[in-house]
Homo-oligomer: A and B are copies of this chain.
Amino acid sequence: MTMRVEVVERVLRANDALAEEVRAALDAAGVLALNLIGSPGSGKTAVLERTAALLRPRLRLGVIEGDIATTRDAERLARCGVPAVQIETRLVGNACHLDAHLVRTALTRLALTDLDVLAIENVGNLVCPAAYYLGEHLRVVVASVPEGDDKPWKYPSTFARADAVIVNKIDLLPFTNFSMETFAEGLRQVTQAPLFALSASTGDGLNPWIEWIAGQPRGHRS
């Protein structure tokens, strides 16, 4: 068990060193990086599709997509005119999260100088990605209405490290017993991060989220 812990710590230290390289490259290029973490099907890709369209007049978005298998998500973003690189973790042992090494490799396929904001969509998993720093400036947790309002209580360590939280799929509120008050109460137990309730499907509620991104400083801040 001790050995297991030592190996995990060594892996995390090696990851952090690579993440600092990623961060330096982003800062040098003046690119703001977001790490999006959420359950499978919480709607991370759909949020990015809307975000790209709404940021476009002001800010250029690029995306790194993390999935166990398929290049579907990168293709979805590319169809929206967004530079997108897919990481398939089935090629590295079905990894349940992105790590800084994977992100650093993906970065070589993006022209950072053509971007203002880089969104890194992590593997669909509300647990493991939270342990790995990727060099991002801000961490965004994406939850959704049908997942239920108990999630901040049940996954406190993930929500505690969020710089912003999205509750997606508010268009489904009338058809579920989800209480936004209950969700927010759970969230406030672990963080004061802003909460954005929106629907990537209908487009409702997107503006405060877009303004939050646009209001963040970019680059040369390490």
Bitwise, A34-59 to B at CB < 8 A (1) or not (0) is 00000111000000000000000000
Contacts of A146 in B (CB 8 A): 41, 144-147, 169, 172
**A180, CB-defined interface residue at 8 Å:** no
- Give chain A's interface residue range (CB within 8 Å of chain B): 35 or more
Segment of A123-131, A132-140, A205-213 in the binding face: A123-131
Nearest CB in chain B: distance from A183 CB, A: 11
- What are the residues of chain B within 8 A of A72 when measuring CB–CB? 150, 153-154
CB A203 to nearest CB in B, in angstroms, measures 15
**A138 and B163 alpha carbons, distance in the complex (Å):** 40
28 contacting pairs across A/B (C-beta < 8 A)? A4-B7, A4-B11, A39-B39, A39-B40, A40-B126, A40-B151, A40-B155, A41-B144, A41-B147, A68-B127, A68-B154, A68-B156, A69-B153, A69-B155, A69-B156, A70-B150, A90-B156, A96-B125, A96-B128, A123-B127, A124-B127, A124-B155, A125-B126, A125-B128, A127-B128, A128-B128, A144-B146, A146-B147
A94 CB-CB contact with B under 8 Å: yes
Quick one: which of A59-93 are within 8 Å of B by CB? Answer: 67-70, 72, 90
Residues on the B chain within 8 Å of A68, using CB = 127, 154-157
